[in-house]
Amino acid sequence: MPQSPIRKLVPFAEKAYKMGKIVYHLNIGQPDIKTPQAAMDAVKMHSLDILAYTRSEGSETYRVKIANYYAKNDIHVKHDDIIVTTGGSEALLFAFGSIMDVGDEVIIPEPFYANYNGFSTASGVKVVPVISKIEDNFALPPIEEFEKLITPKTKAILICNPGNPTGYLYSEEEIKKLAAIVKKHDLFLVADEVYREFAYDGATHYSILQESGLEDHAIIIDSVSKRYSMCGARIGCLVSKNKDVIATALKFAQARLSPPTLAQIAGEAALDTPQSYFDDVIEEYVDRRNVLIEELSKIEGVQVAKPKGAFYCIVQLPIKNSDHFAQWLLESFDVDDETVMVAPAAGFYSTPGVGLNQIRIAYVLNTDSLKKAVNIIKQALKVYKD
């Protein structure tokens, strides 16, 4: 199993704390946005006498409510097209296990969410990367590049939309290109859509299940973690209109018995969150993104892709090895006893040697903290030696 590029530096951050330093965490997508109060209250005020199992696919009332949420987003599914999972992570594992056998292949545009490497390893599946470039703002690579990589072992294409770690939001036109190729080659199109609400600059998210003709090919991975700032709830879901996929994924769900009961109660209550909550959150993230991009652009030798969604960006630095740089920041550098924790980007690629001079930044801090964090990086680059 590969190490997490996001979490492997935690021991060094803990040492920095013990030395009395303040650490600005740009390394992990843990929002500082308040969880909707309705979700917290639902857990506090529950009337359960026994904390029992729920159905393996999740409670019916919750799945019906999830289906209604999707309908509001022009995604029309039934409650029995949904399996509630322990976070989006388990939904991905269920999807991999349901549609691929050991030795099969999945094509993924890289850089991609680092744990896709872990999930594929756990499932015995080979990741076949197709590289997107910072020069193109990490747009979808030419569809011909996907076609070159398809073999008899290829079972799926996996995308994250909007993307972690790039923040790229795929357009409707790009989704249609992917739809055409998976139908042509009879593949699955798996879309990790956990950041659906986070689309900026007037853009709108286009789901793979809004695309007609993909009913047998499309699998959505979803989660409450980022949408409602409920990372610790560990509730997600797998959604597909393909009955064989759902029936197979249900076997995996039965093997782990059921998703957590109290967290489902919280997730169900969170679905009543008003649009005003998201309007405020999106406004806040746009401000943070703009401040971050503006401050990074002032640093000589730094290149940054402008995110269209989510709350991440990839930053290219004038260094050779971001793993060493990230560790050095925590161990050996500070500005007035303050330093920064970043995620080295090489762990978001599966192609060896790619992304070594890049980091991922999660702009989940307020704008003042972001300015301080970027200044620390700026000062660090002046003295850092590879």
Average pLDDT, integer, range 143-170: 98
Phi, psi of 351 (to 5 degrees): -75, 120
CA distance 50 to 8: 38
Whether the CB-CB separation of 253 and 83 falls below 8 Å is answered with yes
Residue 2 has pLDDT above 90, yes or no: no
CA distance 32 to 365: 7
Phi, psi of 323 (to 5 degrees): -60, -50
Return the amino acid letter for 68.
N
- What are the tens digits of pLDDT across the range 79-99? 999 999 999 999 999 999 999
Residue 3 has pLDDT above 90, yes or no: no
CA distance 265 to 62: 8
| pLDDT category of residue 44 using cuts at 50, 70 and 90 | very high
Which residue ranges form the domains of the chain, and what is each CATH number?
A: 10-34+276-383 (3.90.1150.10), 37-270 (3.40.640.10)
Q: Is 64 left (phi over 0), alpha (psi -120 to 50) or beta?
A: alpha
Residue 233 has pLDDT above 90, yes or no: yes
Give which of 321, 304, 297, 296 is closest to 377, Cα–Cα: 296
Residue 120 tokens, joined: 């594929």
pLDDT score at 4 = 80
Q: Exposed (0-12), middle (13-18) or buried (19+): which is 340, by Cβ within 10 Å?
A: buried
If DSSP codes are grouped into helix, strand and coil, which group holds residue 25? Answer: strand
- What are the tens digits of pLDDT across the range 289-337? 999 999 999 999 999 999 999 999 999 999 999 999 999 999 999 999 9
CA angle in degrees (0–180, nearest 5) for 6-10-14: 155
Residue 59 has pLDDT above 80, yes or no: yes
Ranges assigned E (strand) in 132-267? 154-160, 188-192, 218-223, 236-239
pLDDT score at 7 = 81
- What are the tens digits of pLDDT across the range 179-214? 999 999 999 999 999 999 999 999 999 999 999 999
Average pLDDT, integer, range 160-167: 97
Ranges assigned E (strand) in the chain? 22-25, 82-85, 105-110, 126-131, 154-160, 188-192, 218-223, 236-239, 303-304, 312-316, 338-341, 343-344, 358-362
- What are the tens digits of pLDDT across the range 337-347? 999 999 999 99
pTM over 0.85, yes/no: yes
